[in-house]
Structure 1
Amino acid sequence: MPIRIPDNLPARKTLEQEGVYVMDSSRAARQDIRPLEFGLLNLMPNKERTETQFSRLIGATPLQINLTLVRVSDHQSKNTSEDYLKTFYQTWAEVKERKFDGFIVTGAPIANIPFEDVRYWPEMLEIMEWTRTNVHHTMFICWGAQAALHHFHGAKRYRMDKKAFGVFRHRITAPRSPYLRGLSDSPMVPVSRYNDIDRTTLGDNLEVMIDNPDVGVCMLGEKNDSAVYFLNHLEYDNRSLADEYERDRAAGLDTPPPVNLFLNGDTSADPENRWRSHAHLLFQNWINEIYQTTPYRLEEIGKAQEA
């Protein structure tokens, strides 16, 4: 079954060229099943690239998924036109009465700003609390993961001596987790961040699931199974790290090339993607677990928390 995304979304053409089955609204309406409802809170400046990356992974499932693109209400984008946002996105204020089977909160390029100084932090607090009552399962990514770990668990982050930047081999530390079913023992994962989580501040309700002792915690899960936190970027495409490197160099930053990305260190060559299979497997496992455990009646989501 396909992913259902907004009609005429630019990501559609890319996904169709890659063989991802995309369904339009009229055909989806004729399907006599309950599709899964997913939301993507896109905090990244390049909205189109990010929505394509996540749609690519969500759209590979055999289940029908309706994907709603969401943005924070209290923020004016500098990189995406308001017309584009109004056409394809809904603000959180517009969706907050809805229920979702799955919800993704992306990263944001504000790693060096204290959480409380982020302009839309008050709304982020509301959104994070809302995921506990209106979402069956949430995946927090990168800055979104750091913010949610800070808010829900009091986990502290700290700035590393240097930016962790490249594709690094990690180890699976929770091999029995259904989210990691089928992943290799040492998957390669793209990393691009200045901050890590202080392990001594992680509470008893958190389990480290994927780890690297040199570049930090990669994935954590909650033992009550309401959220997972992925601090790195399996959703990245081939060029994501390379383009970031070129932007840094153009800005005059002394950023070294991403580790393990370019074959033989040749920064002029197209990078090889050595994480794609792990990305697809992780997302398919996540979606399958949501499908197996979410209430059949969408309105029942959150009732267990209220009881």
Structure 2
Amino acid sequence: MPIKMPSTLPAYDVLQNEGVMVMGEGRAERQDIRPLRIALLNLMPKKIQTETQFARLIGATPLQIDLHLIRISSHETRNTAAEHMAEFYRPWEDVRDEKYDGLIITGAPIEQLPYEEVTYWDELTQIFDWTQTNIHSTFGVCWGGMAMVNHFHGVQKHILPAKAFGCFRHRNLAPASPFLRGFSDDLLMPVSRWTEVRMDEVEAQPDLIPLIASDETGPALVEDPAHRALYMFNHFEYDSFTLKEEYDRDVAAGKAINVPVNYYPDDDPENIPTNRWRSHAHLLYGNWINDIYQSTPFDLEAIGSGHW
């Protein structure tokens, strides 16, 4: 089954050209099926790139996905055209009475700020609480995941002495987890952050289950069953050249930045980077979508009621 999105959304043509099954509103409405309603709360400045990355992953499953794009009501983006935002995004205040099978909360380039200094922190914490009544399963990514685990469990983020940047080896800590079905024991994952969540502080929380971790960069994926949430502190959704774009941007700006480790062949930025995480990225998001499908109520209004 395909992912349903407006045919005018830039991601539509990109994914169609990649062979991902996509469909517009008209064709979707002719199918007698309840698609999974998945929302993306996009906090990244490059909205179109981020939409495409996540749509690619959640649109690759056999289930029909109805993708909804949400933005913070109290914050206006300066990096994406206002016309794009007006046409494709709805502010959270407009959807707070609606229910969704799944919600992805992206990262944001504000990780070194204390949470309370983020201009939209009050609204975001309301959204975190809203997930407990209106969302069946939530997936917090990078800063979004760190912010969620801080809100619900008080787990702190810590500033790193240098940016964790590149592709780092990770261990599968829970092979029996439904979210890691098909995963290797050892895998590579893109990391790009100035902060970390520490394993000992995650393990000190009895309600949190570490699923994937790195000896170099700490926990990467944590399950929070009590809040029906996953927290991913890294970037499985990255395209092949996303780390290169970040590296080239910082070099051009004269910023001190290390060559991303284990990314370019021979660690030489003159070489074309190799994507060695794509299959696990599709596995993880496919497993998440499958878990939602297996457990979400058929009646959307039953989400959050505890009666399914």
Is TM-score (shorter-chain normalized) higher than 0.5? yes
**Alpha carbons 1:163, 1:194 under 8 Å: kept:** yes
Deviations 1:126-168 (A, max 9, x none): 1110011100000000000010011000001111221110001
Question: What is the CA–CA distance in structure 2 between the aligned matches of 1:122 and 1:171, rounded to whole Å?
Answer: 35
Aligned partners of 1:72, 1:12: CA distance in 2, in Å? 23
Higher mean C-alpha displacement, 55-64 vs 247-256: 247-256
Deviation larger for 213-222 or 274-283: 213-222
Indicate which of 281, 284, 305 corresponds to 1:282: 284
Is structure 2 residue 114 aligned with structure 1 residue 144?
no
Q: How does 1:292-307 map to 2 (within 5 A)?
A: 292-304=294-306
> What is the Cα deviation at residue 275 of structure 1?
0.2
1:17 corresponds to: 17
Structure 1 stretch 219-228 or stretch 37-46: which is displaced more? 219-228
Query: Residue in 1 aligned with 2:273?
Result: 271
Give yes or no for contact 2:198–2:219 (8 Å, CA) kept in 1: no
1:73 and 1:179 mapped to 2: Cα distance?
31
Alignment-derived partner of residue 94 in structure 1: 94
Q: How does 1:192-211 map to 2 (within 5 A)?
A: 192-202=192-202, 203-211=205-213
Q: Distance in 2 between matches of 1:113 and 1:16?
A: 38
Residue number in structure 2 paired with 1:78: 78
SS in 1 for 2:27: helix
Paired with 1:47 and 1:150, the residues of 2 have a C-alpha distance of 25
Contact residue 132 and residue 227 of structure 2 kept, 8 A: no
What is the letter of the counterpart of residue 177 of structure 1?
S
Between the aligned residues of both structures, percent identity stands at 50
Where does structure 1 lack aligned partners over 5 or more consecutive residues?
A: none
Structure 1 residues 115-124 or 158-167, which shifts more?
158-167
Task: Report deviation, 1:197.
Answer: 1.1
- Structure 2 gap segments, 5+ residues each: none
Q: Classify the secondary structure of the residue corresponding to 2:226.
A: coil
State the match for 1:243 in structure 2: 245
Match of 1:259 among 239, 256, 261: 261
* TM-score, scaled to structure 2: 0.97
Residue-by-residue CA offset, 1:157-185 (whole Å, 9 max, x unaligned): 11122111000110011111100010111
| Corresponding residue number in structure 2 for 1:167 | 167
Question: What do the CA deviations read for 1:167-208 (whole angstroms, capped 9, x no partner)?
Answer: 011001111110001011111100001111133433110011
TM-score, normalised relative to structure 1: 0.97
- Give the aligned residue type for 1:184: S
Post-superposition Cα deviations, 1:54-105, rounded to whole Å, max 9, x if no partner, equal 0000110111110001110111111011111001111111111110001100
Counterpart position of 1:34: 34
- For the 8 Å contact 1:35–1:63, the answer to whether it is kept is yes
**Cα offset for 1:268?**
2.4
Letter in 1 for 2:149: L
Say if 1:154 and 1:201, in contact at 8 Å, map to a contact too: no
The one-letter code sitting in structure 2 at the alignment partner of 1:60 is: A
Q: Which amino acid aligns with 1:112?
A: Q
- Which deviates more from structure 2 when the two are superposed, residues 247-256 or residues 108-117? 247-256
Q: Measure, in 2, the Cα distance between the counterparts of 1:301 and 1:223.
A: 15
CA distance in 1, matches of 2:52, 2:284: 17
CA contact (8 A) 1:107 1:144 kept: yes
Paired amino acid for 1:301: I
SS in 2 for 1:66: strand
How many aligned positions are there? Answer: 306
Kindly provide the amino acid, as one letter, of the partner of residue 269 in structure 2: T
Q: Which residue in 2 is equivalent to 1:127?
A: 127
Alpha-carbon displacement from aligned partner over 1:197-246 (angstroms, at most 9, x marks no partner): 13343311001110012111101001336000000000000010010001
1:264 and 1:241 mapped to 2: Cα distance?
Answer: 16
Question: 109-118 or 152-161, which moves further after superposition?
Answer: 152-161
Counterpart secondary structure, 2:97? coil
Measure how far apart 1:7 and its partner are.
2.7
Residues 102 and 135 of structure 2 are in contact (CA less than 8 Å); yes or no, is this contact kept in structure 1?
yes
